[in-house]
Protein backbone atom coordinates (compact mmCIF):
# COMPACT_ATOMS: atom_id res chain seq x y z
CA UNK A 1 0.00 0.00 0.00
CA UNK A 2 1.45 3.36 -1.03
CA UNK A 3 0.58 6.49 0.90
CA UNK A 4 -0.50 9.06 -1.71
CA UNK A 5 -1.44 12.69 -1.77
CA UNK A 6 -1.99 15.14 -4.59
CA UNK A 7 0.77 17.47 -5.65
CA UNK A 8 -0.34 20.55 -3.71
CA UNK A 9 2.49 20.77 -1.17
CA UNK A 10 3.73 24.26 -0.29
CA UNK A 11 6.52 25.46 2.01
CA UNK A 12 4.17 25.82 4.96
CA UNK A 13 3.00 22.23 4.46
CA UNK A 14 6.45 20.68 4.84
CA UNK A 15 6.68 18.06 7.58
CA UNK A 16 9.66 18.41 9.87
CA UNK A 17 11.73 15.34 10.64
CA UNK A 18 10.35 14.70 14.14
CA UNK A 19 6.74 14.94 13.00
CA UNK A 20 7.48 12.77 9.97
CA UNK A 21 8.93 10.00 12.11
CA UNK A 22 6.02 10.14 14.55
CA UNK A 23 3.48 9.95 11.71
CA UNK A 24 5.40 7.08 10.13
CA UNK A 25 5.24 5.10 13.38
CA UNK A 26 1.48 5.62 13.57
CA UNK A 27 1.03 4.56 9.94
CA UNK A 28 3.15 1.45 10.39
CA UNK A 29 1.17 0.46 13.48
CA UNK A 30 -2.12 0.95 11.70
CA UNK A 31 -0.94 -1.05 8.71
CA UNK A 32 0.19 -3.91 10.94
CA UNK A 33 -3.17 -3.93 12.69
CA UNK A 34 -5.04 -4.12 9.41
CA UNK A 35 -2.72 -6.71 7.88
CA UNK A 36 -1.68 -4.37 5.06
CA UNK A 37 1.20 -5.29 2.79
CA UNK A 38 3.31 -2.24 3.44
CA UNK A 39 3.50 1.49 4.09
CA UNK A 40 4.91 4.16 1.81
CA UNK A 41 6.00 1.71 -0.88
CA UNK A 42 7.93 -0.48 1.58
CA UNK A 43 7.56 -4.24 1.88
CA UNK A 44 5.90 -5.14 5.18
CA UNK A 45 9.12 -6.65 6.56
CA UNK A 46 10.90 -3.28 6.09
CA UNK A 47 8.50 -1.18 8.14
CA UNK A 48 10.80 -1.15 11.15
CA UNK A 49 13.57 0.66 9.27
CA UNK A 50 14.70 3.84 10.96
CA UNK A 51 15.13 6.67 8.44
CA UNK A 52 18.52 8.33 8.29
CA UNK A 53 18.55 11.93 9.52
CA UNK A 54 17.90 14.68 7.00
CA UNK A 55 21.31 16.16 7.81
CA UNK A 56 23.17 12.95 7.03
CA UNK A 57 21.19 12.32 3.84
CA UNK A 58 21.89 15.79 2.52
CA UNK A 59 25.54 16.17 3.54
CA UNK A 60 27.03 12.74 2.72
CA UNK A 61 26.73 12.48 -1.05
CA UNK A 62 28.30 11.30 -4.26
CA UNK A 63 27.68 13.80 -7.05
CA UNK A 64 30.95 14.06 -8.93
CA UNK A 65 29.79 16.97 -11.07
CA UNK A 66 30.29 19.00 -7.87
CA UNK A 67 33.42 17.26 -6.61
CA UNK A 68 34.60 13.81 -5.57
CA UNK A 69 34.55 14.32 -1.79
CA UNK A 70 31.47 13.35 0.20
CA UNK A 71 31.11 16.92 1.46
CA UNK A 72 31.77 18.60 -1.88
CA UNK A 73 28.21 18.46 -3.29
CA UNK A 74 26.61 20.24 -0.32
CA UNK A 75 29.29 22.94 -0.55
CA UNK A 76 29.19 23.39 -4.31
CA UNK A 77 25.77 22.40 -5.65
CA UNK A 78 24.13 25.73 -4.75
CA UNK A 79 25.38 26.90 -8.15
CA UNK A 80 22.95 24.60 -9.99
CA UNK A 81 19.97 26.45 -11.46
CA UNK A 82 16.87 24.26 -11.20
CA UNK A 83 14.21 26.69 -12.39
CA UNK A 84 13.19 26.50 -15.14
CA UNK A 85 13.87 22.81 -15.76
CA UNK A 86 13.06 20.84 -18.89
CA UNK A 87 13.15 17.08 -19.48
CA UNK A 88 13.43 15.83 -23.05
CA UNK A 89 11.62 12.54 -23.62
CA UNK A 90 12.42 10.97 -26.96
CA UNK A 91 13.21 7.79 -28.82
CA UNK A 92 10.56 5.09 -29.10
CA UNK A 93 7.66 7.08 -27.63
CA UNK A 94 4.37 8.32 -29.09
CA UNK A 95 4.62 11.80 -27.63
CA UNK A 96 8.25 12.95 -27.75
CA UNK A 97 9.05 16.46 -26.64
CA UNK A 98 10.56 18.83 -24.11
CA UNK A 99 8.47 18.67 -20.94
CA UNK A 100 8.62 21.40 -18.31
CA UNK A 101 9.15 20.06 -14.80
CA UNK A 102 6.04 21.92 -13.58
CA UNK A 103 3.91 20.33 -16.31
CA UNK A 104 5.18 16.88 -15.41
CA UNK A 105 4.41 17.41 -11.73
CA UNK A 106 0.91 18.63 -12.50
CA UNK A 107 0.15 15.25 -14.07
CA UNK A 108 1.83 12.98 -11.53
CA UNK A 109 0.70 11.66 -8.16
CA UNK A 110 3.34 12.26 -5.49
CA UNK A 111 3.93 9.46 -2.99
CA UNK A 112 5.94 8.91 0.16
CA UNK A 113 8.41 6.04 -0.19
CA UNK A 114 10.84 5.00 2.55
CA UNK A 115 13.59 2.99 0.89
CA UNK A 116 16.88 1.41 1.76
CA UNK A 117 19.73 3.07 -0.18
CA UNK A 118 22.92 1.05 -0.72
CA UNK A 119 26.04 2.55 -2.28
CA UNK A 120 28.47 0.39 -4.24
CA UNK A 121 31.12 1.71 -1.81
CA UNK A 122 29.50 -0.48 0.89
CA UNK A 123 27.70 2.21 2.91
CA UNK A 124 23.96 2.57 3.30
CA UNK A 125 21.12 4.84 4.38
CA UNK A 126 17.35 4.71 4.73
CA UNK A 127 15.79 7.61 2.83
CA UNK A 128 12.20 8.93 3.00
CA UNK A 129 11.69 10.00 -0.60
CA UNK A 130 8.80 11.86 -2.15
CA UNK A 131 8.11 11.27 -5.82
CA UNK A 132 6.12 9.42 -8.45
CA UNK A 133 6.50 6.12 -10.25
CA UNK A 134 8.62 6.27 -13.38
CA UNK A 135 6.03 4.03 -15.03
CA UNK A 136 3.50 6.88 -14.85
CA UNK A 137 5.86 9.27 -16.64
CA UNK A 138 6.61 6.70 -19.34
CA UNK A 139 2.90 6.07 -19.78
CA UNK A 140 2.39 9.81 -20.24
CA UNK A 141 4.94 9.78 -23.08
CA UNK A 142 3.51 6.61 -24.62
CA UNK A 143 6.05 3.77 -24.86
CA UNK A 144 6.16 2.11 -28.27
CA UNK A 145 6.22 -1.65 -28.71
CA UNK A 146 9.83 -1.77 -29.89
CA UNK A 147 11.23 -0.17 -26.73
CA UNK A 148 13.26 -2.49 -24.49
CA UNK A 149 15.44 -0.07 -22.49
CA UNK A 150 15.27 3.37 -20.92
CA UNK A 151 18.30 5.68 -21.09
CA UNK A 152 18.82 8.67 -18.78
CA UNK A 153 21.07 11.71 -18.95
CA UNK A 154 22.14 14.20 -16.26
CA UNK A 155 22.47 17.93 -16.87
CA UNK A 156 25.88 19.05 -18.07
CA UNK A 157 26.56 22.66 -17.12
CA UNK A 158 30.28 23.45 -16.83
CA UNK A 159 29.54 26.97 -15.58
CA UNK A 160 27.48 25.55 -12.69
CA UNK A 161 29.20 22.21 -12.10
CA UNK A 162 32.86 22.67 -11.10
CA UNK A 163 33.52 18.92 -11.05
CA UNK A 164 33.06 18.46 -14.80
CA UNK A 165 36.31 20.35 -15.37
CA UNK A 166 38.05 17.12 -14.42
CA UNK A 167 37.85 13.92 -16.54
CA UNK A 168 36.65 11.73 -13.68
CA UNK A 169 34.00 10.36 -16.03
CA UNK A 170 32.95 10.89 -19.63
CA UNK A 171 30.43 13.70 -19.13
CA UNK A 172 27.46 13.97 -19.22
CA UNK A 173 26.57 11.26 -16.73
CA UNK A 174 24.34 8.63 -18.34
CA UNK A 175 22.50 5.60 -16.99
CA UNK A 176 20.01 3.01 -18.15
CA UNK A 177 17.50 0.37 -17.16
CA UNK A 178 15.74 -2.47 -18.87
CA UNK A 179 12.13 -1.48 -19.57
CA UNK A 180 10.70 -3.99 -17.09
CA UNK A 181 12.99 -2.58 -14.39
CA UNK A 182 11.97 0.97 -15.26
CA UNK A 183 8.26 0.19 -15.09
CA UNK A 184 8.48 -1.81 -11.86
CA UNK A 185 6.28 -0.22 -9.13
CA UNK A 186 9.30 0.33 -6.85
CA UNK A 187 11.13 2.48 -9.41
CA UNK A 188 10.67 6.09 -8.40
CA UNK A 189 11.31 9.54 -9.83
CA UNK A 190 12.16 11.41 -6.64
CA UNK A 191 11.38 15.10 -6.16
CA UNK A 192 11.74 15.42 -2.39
CA UNK A 193 13.19 14.11 0.88
CA UNK A 194 11.29 14.20 4.19
CA UNK A 195 8.50 16.13 2.43
CA UNK A 196 10.85 18.94 1.42
CA UNK A 197 11.99 19.72 -2.10
CA UNK A 198 14.98 17.59 -2.99
CA UNK A 199 18.23 19.56 -2.42
CA UNK A 200 20.59 20.23 -5.31
CA UNK A 201 23.26 17.93 -3.87
CA UNK A 202 20.77 15.06 -3.85
CA UNK A 203 19.78 15.49 -7.48
CA UNK A 204 17.29 18.36 -7.75
CA UNK A 205 14.81 18.75 -9.14
CA UNK A 206 14.28 15.21 -10.45
CA UNK A 207 16.28 12.03 -9.91
CA UNK A 208 15.82 8.32 -10.33
CA UNK A 209 15.62 5.95 -7.35
CA UNK A 210 15.95 2.19 -7.95
CA UNK A 211 16.18 0.76 -4.42
CA UNK A 212 17.40 -2.74 -5.27
CA UNK A 213 20.40 -1.44 -7.24
CA UNK A 214 23.61 0.28 -6.15
CA UNK A 215 23.17 4.01 -5.74
CA UNK A 216 25.08 5.12 -8.84
CA UNK A 217 22.23 3.68 -10.94
CA UNK A 218 19.90 6.29 -9.40
CA UNK A 219 20.95 9.10 -11.74
CA UNK A 220 20.52 12.70 -10.55
CA UNK A 221 19.23 15.96 -12.09
CA UNK A 222 17.73 14.27 -15.15
CA UNK A 223 17.36 16.28 -18.36
CA UNK A 224 16.73 13.50 -20.88
CA UNK A 225 14.93 10.16 -21.00
CA UNK A 226 15.20 8.08 -24.16
CA UNK A 227 13.40 4.84 -24.99
CA UNK A 228 15.61 2.52 -27.02
CA UNK A 229 15.66 -0.95 -28.53
CA UNK A 230 19.27 -1.60 -27.52
CA UNK A 231 21.07 -1.49 -24.18
CA UNK A 232 22.25 2.07 -23.57
CA UNK A 233 25.76 3.00 -22.39
CA UNK A 234 26.17 3.85 -18.70
CA UNK A 235 28.85 6.10 -17.22
CA UNK A 236 30.55 3.83 -14.71
CA UNK A 237 30.42 0.84 -17.04
CA UNK A 238 32.14 2.94 -19.73
CA UNK A 239 34.75 4.02 -17.20
CA UNK A 240 35.49 0.54 -15.87
CA UNK A 241 33.42 -2.36 -17.19
CA UNK A 242 35.29 -4.87 -15.01
CA UNK A 243 34.04 -3.20 -11.83
CA UNK A 244 30.65 -1.77 -12.82
CA UNK A 245 28.14 -3.80 -14.79
CA UNK A 246 24.98 -2.63 -16.48
CA UNK A 247 22.66 -4.24 -13.93
CA UNK A 248 24.49 -3.38 -10.69
CA UNK A 249 21.95 -5.13 -8.49
CA UNK A 250 22.83 -5.20 -4.80
CA UNK A 251 24.24 -8.67 -4.27
CA UNK A 252 26.20 -9.71 -1.16
CA UNK A 253 27.46 -12.80 -3.02
CA UNK A 254 29.19 -10.83 -5.78
CA UNK A 255 32.07 -8.73 -4.47
CA UNK A 256 33.41 -5.59 -6.04
CA UNK A 257 36.90 -6.47 -7.36
CA UNK A 258 38.43 -4.24 -4.68
CA UNK A 259 36.20 -4.92 -1.64
CA UNK A 260 33.54 -7.19 -0.22
CA UNK A 261 29.85 -6.49 -0.71
CA UNK A 262 28.76 -8.86 2.05
CA UNK A 263 28.29 -6.10 4.64
CA UNK A 264 27.78 -2.35 4.81
CA UNK A 265 28.45 0.65 7.02
CA UNK A 266 25.27 2.44 8.05
CA UNK A 267 25.59 6.21 7.82
CA UNK A 268 24.63 7.89 11.07
CA UNK A 269 25.19 4.81 13.22
CA UNK A 270 28.47 6.04 14.69
CA UNK A 271 32.12 5.53 13.86
CA UNK A 272 32.50 2.30 15.83
CA UNK A 273 29.10 0.77 15.04
CA UNK A 274 29.02 -2.82 13.85
CA UNK A 275 28.57 -3.26 10.11
CA UNK A 276 25.31 -4.88 9.05
CA UNK A 277 24.86 -7.72 6.59
CA UNK A 278 23.91 -6.69 3.09
CA UNK A 279 20.62 -8.15 1.85
CA UNK A 280 20.07 -9.65 -1.58
CA UNK A 281 18.58 -7.00 -3.86
CA UNK A 282 18.97 -4.65 -0.87
CA UNK A 283 16.05 -6.38 0.86
CA UNK A 284 13.63 -6.17 -2.07
CA UNK A 285 14.16 -9.71 -3.34
CA UNK A 286 10.51 -10.76 -2.98
CA UNK A 287 9.47 -7.85 -5.20
CA UNK A 288 12.16 -7.93 -7.91
CA UNK A 289 13.92 -11.31 -8.03
CA UNK A 290 11.50 -12.54 -10.71
CA UNK A 291 12.85 -9.88 -13.08
CA UNK A 292 16.07 -11.89 -13.28
CA UNK A 293 14.74 -15.46 -13.45
CA UNK A 294 17.23 -17.64 -15.28
CA UNK A 295 19.99 -15.00 -15.34
CA UNK A 296 23.47 -15.64 -14.08
CA UNK A 297 23.78 -12.78 -11.59
CA UNK A 298 27.54 -13.16 -11.36
CA UNK A 299 27.97 -12.81 -15.11
CA UNK A 300 25.28 -10.13 -15.31
CA UNK A 301 26.50 -8.07 -12.39
Q: What is the torsion angle, in degrees rounded to the nearest 10, for the CA atoms of residue 150, residue 116, residue 99 and residue 83?
A: -140
Confidence of residue 77 (pLDDT cuts 50, 70, 90): very high
154 is in an annotated binding site: yes
Quick check: is 256 in a domain? Answer: yes
On whether residue 267 sits in a domain, the answer given is: yes
Find out whether 207 is annotated in a ligand binding site: yes
In a domain, 67, yes or no: yes
**pLDDT score of 49 more than 90:** no
Average pLDDT, the chain: 89
pTM > 0.85 = yes
pLDDT band at 44 (very low <50, low <70, confident <90, very high): very low
Residue range(s) defining the domain that contains residue 185 = 3-289
Higher pLDDT, residue 61 or 37: 61
> Is 267 within any annotated ligand binding site?
no
For residue 297, tell me if it sits in a domain. Answer: no
The CATH number of the domain holding residue 143 is 3.90.420.10
SS (H, E, C) the chain: CCEEECCCCCHHHCCCHHHHHHHHHHHHHHHHHHCCCCCCCCCHHHCCCCCCCHHHHHHCCCCHHHCCCCCHHHHHHHHCCCCCCEEEEEECECCCEEEEHHHHHHHCCEEEEEEEEECCCCEEEEEEEEEEEHHHHHHHHCECCCCCEEEEEECCCCCCCHHHHCCCCCCCCEEEEEHHHHCCCCCEEEEEECCEECCHHHCCCCEEECCCECHHHCCCCEEEEEEECCCCCCHHHHHCCCCCCCCCECCCCCCECCECCCEEEECCCCCCCCCEECCHHHHCHHHHHHHHCCCCCCCCC
Q: Other C-beta atoms within 10 Å of 270: how many? A: 7
Give pLDDT, residue 138.
98
pLDDT of 40: 46
Domain assignment present for 301: no
Q: How many structural domains are present in the chain?
A: 1
In a domain, residue 237? The reply is: yes
Does residue 112 belong to any structural domain of this protein? yes
Q: Is residue 296 part of a domain?
A: no
202 marked ligand binding residue? yes
pLDDT digits (tens, 9 = 90+) for 130-158: 999 999 999 999 999 999 999 999 999 99
Q: Is 260 labelled a binding residue? A: no
- Is 214 annotated to bind ligand? no
Mean pLDDT value of segment 83-96 = 98
In tens, the pLDDT along 211-258 reads: 999 999 999 999 999 999 999 999 999 999 999 999 999 999 999 999
**Would you say 99 is a known binding-site residue?**
no
The verdict on whether residue 240 carries a ligand-binding annotation is no
Percent of the chain at pLDDT exceeding 70:
84
When pLDDT is averaged across residues 269-292 and rounded to a whole number, the result is: 95
61 assigned ligand-binding residue: yes
pLDDT of residue 272: 86
Amino acid sequence: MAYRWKNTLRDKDVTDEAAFLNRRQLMAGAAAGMGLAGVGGMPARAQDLEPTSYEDITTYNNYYEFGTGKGDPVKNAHTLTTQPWMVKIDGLVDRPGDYAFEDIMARMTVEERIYRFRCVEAWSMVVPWNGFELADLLEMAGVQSGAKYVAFETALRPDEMPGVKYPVLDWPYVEGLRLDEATHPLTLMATGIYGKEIPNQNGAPLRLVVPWKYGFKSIKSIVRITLTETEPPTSWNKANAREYGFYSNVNPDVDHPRWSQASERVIGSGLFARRQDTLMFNGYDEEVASLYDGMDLKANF
